[in-house]
Structure 1
């Protein structure tokens, strides 16, 4: 009897540890939840700005119930949650997955728009939200990706509710991309690569008309031709520059569009409960 009683606390401890997941599989409190339960809990976490937890629940929903309205909506919501959680690569991957699985879905325009917004904010950068800097001085990779995302949106879905904002952002991005080319041309000038500078300047003039960068590109072109002893070409470029300046044809850059809170509620949650 004494021996049996002495072993009892040990047995209780083992049982307690097993219940806590020390031995065997850790208990998942969401086990057995329905699709609607998982979705409502994930949406609540998203509304409370608990993005990491929301992503976890949305991914559980997709894994357990891969078909149906809840899974479809979860894919869009998880992309938004990852975007808000500062996980841009995962957000873009989720949006791309939705586009691939549901190319004819009436809300696929949102997936393209979200991709554009993610890349757009990557091109802006964290510090630029607090310290204004020259956007044209940064690596244009994300800006170009954002421009392409928005371009697909406005081309395929011209009547989308997101198209107008996408067009405005494209104008801003185009100006920055043009100015980036001018910055590269100026760098070539400093390095003595005058022919490369002239080629970059001509590229801006040919491909980025109606941006303020054309004015700067013509200035670089004049200097590059002079450095190459192409006085006739330099005079022609100077004449074009003077005529357009006098005519007021060089336009000012568009201001950066205001930040938007990307809407994630593509349809009313109540509709998910309809049969």
Structure 2
């Protein structure tokens, strides 16, 4: 670890420790004032104070008009404040309390995001670590949670991003199983290594690790003196992955761990894919207050007598049917 990285981690830790003072919220603030205060903090990326305002709003006005929106905003604020467990608990609570809410898909999406970045602590964010060698528990949880979102709400605006992350996570899980298989080979657990390679081939088709799984099977079966199984796996490897690093002019090279260039290829592939998906989620489009103000504006325009409306106002109040029929049946 370089001195630059150590200094960066130390500064960030000190900054987080110095900014942990709780925010004092006036007891006399109305629901709207608390909501506006939270929105200002969120817009300024002051997530700690925003959390305090949103929690105060929810506790003081549990049945107010901003209560449900505050619960959604709280999920986002916890996530951005590096409190994944609190964000996940808030998402679970929202799903449980409001299963038919029109924006419940956002809670499902954020629940997947909390698991997606659960292991990305302060050191992982700034130090170059190989994620394919990390414990896959969080990756499996995230994959399953994104799968729930895609299954329940396939037309959700968050579904495309969730699908992209699922591809990334599937590649990550397959690469992890390859590392485990080579660990078994190193410990002379050849049958376990062969089974792990076969598991990757059978369950992670279309991932870059399938060729590695076949090579693992060839190596393990050869060591077990299972010639027929080794030859079958080798023929499949030659047919589908002729450029695999374990092949030298079609001949299989014995190895205990993947060649360094192969490990580098896998890390490069994961890093390139991560550039597309390892980005923070955006806040839900439009706050509740903005949507209400827009609705009130539309109602106010509709209340203006037609004789004094401007052309733009008239266009806004006309229905789709009116536009299609050119106003003939108005």
Which TM-score band (shorter chain)? Answer: 0.7 to 0.9
- Displacement of 1:49 in angstroms is 1.7
- Displacement of 1:102 in angstroms is 0.8
Evaluate the alpha carbon distance shift between residue 72 and residue 266 of structure 1 in structure 2; reply closer, same or farther with a 3 A threshold.
farther
For the residue of structure 1 that corresponds to 2:62, the secondary structure is coil
Instruction: Name 1:70's counterpart in structure 2.
Output: 66
**Aligned pair partner of 2:165 in 163, 166, 169:** 169
Aligned pairs, how many? 245
- Displacement of 1:108 in angstroms is 0.8
8 Å contact from structure 2 (residues 38, 53) kept in 1: yes
> Are positions 1:136 and 2:132 aligned together?
yes
- Displacement of 1:123 in angstroms is 4.2
8 Å contact from structure 1 (residues 185, 197) kept in 2: yes
**Aligned pair partner of 1:88 in 66, 81, 84:** 84
Instruction: Name 1:117's counterpart in structure 2.
Output: 113
Structure 2 residues without counterparts, runs of 5 or longer: 1-23, 245-265, 297-330
8 Å contact from structure 1 (residues 204, 214) kept in 2: yes
Cα RMSD of the aligned pairs, angstroms, is: 2.1
Structure 1 CA distance, aligned partners of 2:133 and 2:280? Answer: 26
User: What is the 5 A alignment of 1:229-268?
Assistant: 229-246=225-242, 255-256=273-274, 257-268=276-287
- TM-score, scaled to structure 2: 0.69
8 Å contact from structure 1 (residues 174, 208) kept in 2: yes
The Cα offsets for residues 69-112 of structure 1, whole Å up to 9 and x where unpaired, read as 31101111111111111111001100111111111111111111
Moved more, 124-133 or 187-196: 124-133
Instruction: Name 2:186's counterpart in structure 1.
Output: 190
Evaluate the alpha carbon distance shift between residue 69 and residue 267 of structure 1 in structure 2; reply closer, same or farther with a 3 A threshold.
farther
8 Å contact from structure 1 (residues 120, 142) kept in 2: yes
> Are positions 1:270 and 2:290 aligned together?
yes
**Aligned pair partner of 2:212 in 212, 216, 226:** 216
Evaluate the alpha carbon distance shift between residue 29 and residue 92 of structure 1 in structure 2; reply closer, same or farther with a 3 A threshold.
closer
The Cα offsets for residues 184-222 of structure 1, whole Å up to 9 and x where unpaired, read as 111111111111111111111111011111100111101
- TM-score, scaled to structure 1: 0.82
Structure 1 CA distance, aligned partners of 2:197 and 2:25? Answer: 62
Structure 2 CA distance, aligned partners of 1:261 and 1:219? Answer: 36
8 Å contact from structure 2 (residues 164, 277) kept in 1: no
